[in-house]
């Protein structure tokens, strides 16, 4: 298994440009999520999905869109990049995340380092 893969590893954008960060997993995980990691701010949840066709907002969803058309893929779209979106983005997945139940380990991707000029 490749686990959780993310592309690209690095990206530089100009303000106003759009792009899609790719995330894929081959473990048949239902739950997938996107976080951004910023110094002093830790990991903040952007969007998450509990299964194909289902997405929901996390703590910092503004400026980002997601879709989940397949179990394997969970792309993150930046519609109009801003310097405030300069960050390291992590994708994560696990079998299931449900309140009140045992949660499987979350597996993280290697991250995408995004710089917006």
Query: Is the bond leading into 98 cis (omega within 30 degrees of zero)?
Result: no
The yes or no reply on residue 26 touching other proteins (CB under 8 A) is no
Pairing of strands 112-116, 10-13: parallel
State the minimum distance, in angstroms, from the CB of residue 11 to other proteins.
19
Residue 117 in contact with residue 12, Cβ under 8 Å?
yes
Please tell me whether residue 36 binds other proteins under the rule CB under 8 A: no
Distances in Å between the alpha carbon of 5 and those of 29, 93, 104, 107? 13, 10, 18, 10
- Residues in 52-81 at the binding interface with other proteins, rule: CB under 8 A: 56, 58-59
Q: Is 108 one of the binding residues for other proteins (CB under 8 A)?
A: yes
In the complex, the residues that contact other proteins under the rule CB under 8 A are 33, 35, 40-45, 48, 50, 56, 58-59, 90, 92, 97-100, 102-103, 105-106, 108-111
């Amino acid at each position: 298994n490749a686990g959780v893969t993310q592309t690209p590893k690095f990206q530089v954008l100009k303000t106003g440009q759009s792009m899609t960060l790719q995330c894929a997993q081959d473990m048949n995980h239902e739950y997938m999520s996107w976080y951004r990691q910023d110094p002093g701010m830790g990991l903040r949840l952007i969007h998450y999905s509990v299964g194909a066709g289902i997405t929901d907002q996390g703590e910092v969803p503004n400026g980002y869109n997601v879709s989940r058309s397949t179990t394997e893929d969970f792309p993150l779209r930046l519609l109009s990049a801003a310097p405030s979106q300069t960050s390291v983005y992590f994708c994560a997945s696990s079998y299931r995340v449900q309140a009140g139940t045992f949660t499987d380990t979350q597996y993280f991707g290697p991250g995408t380092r995004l710089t917006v000029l």
